[in-house]
Structure 1
């Protein structure tokens, strides 16, 4: 695998290193040892699949609070998405910065999303499927969201959304829930 760190420390674009011949190619999309060599959390406990019927479906921006923060390895397995992550770590030099990466089924490209990052995507084609491996079990009480158009981040989406869940439409304005309070405890 080919690991390329993004401007957001700890977030990587991962490409499949292809061994090609007349049949096509062979490559790895997951190797615990290679992830550990890059000091990336590799204890996958769950794999999620998202099927999206129409172009312009927006899902996000989602994250989980401590102690249920999750890393994600996101890959588009059919169609195409614009995948967005936001650094929500107050101690990070890239706090509140975001990146967007186009992931397509044809490219086999993946995005590694560290803990304490917001994550979401918009579909660029009808009938798009996304698979992501995560390092924590889904925990409803720890789930949080950020509005896709929150002015605190000014995300530049490549197309206007046409379908957003009611839940994702009503996320409140961003509040830093990862910053410790004055008594040393995490907010929330």
Structure 2
């Protein structure tokens, strides 16, 4: 079972989500009590934008292991994408109750708070995610977007710059960097950042 479980994890990291899902389902068939296999299935389904199915898989993982922080984190992400924000917050809070130092759950919690327009709390959640994992480009980018909403453009720009240092070819970070530069009146730099985003595949 662990071979299929490991295979699913490897395929997921390679962004081969369809194959990761198949491997996770093979692991489950061999051992229906494997919480990690259900969690892997949920992660793959989430990346395939099959959020309802991802939620079910993560809930099955939780039934098998009620202290499985990763599964609560996955459940929170699925609920967030489905617009069920209050339930998503509860899932992330449970993940953090089990493991207070879980960077991904702090980032996920920030995403929900952002969508609830609780922007200052969202910034705090992203900052906690970064404090726990300074190599977290998504958290820096999310923090930057939220700071821009709050009108804190210099800080937003610094956050996007850090995201780009960690992940130079992420188009969306260059796009949001261009927006912060535009708000600061640095129009030529903003244009260059936007062009970079387009070169990297940003559409918008």
Question: Whose RCO is larger (CA < 8 A, sep 6+)?
Answer: 1
Give TM-score, length-normalised by structure 1. Answer: 0.28
Larger helix fraction of residues? 2
More strand by share: 1
Q: TM-score, normalised by structure 2?
A: 0.27
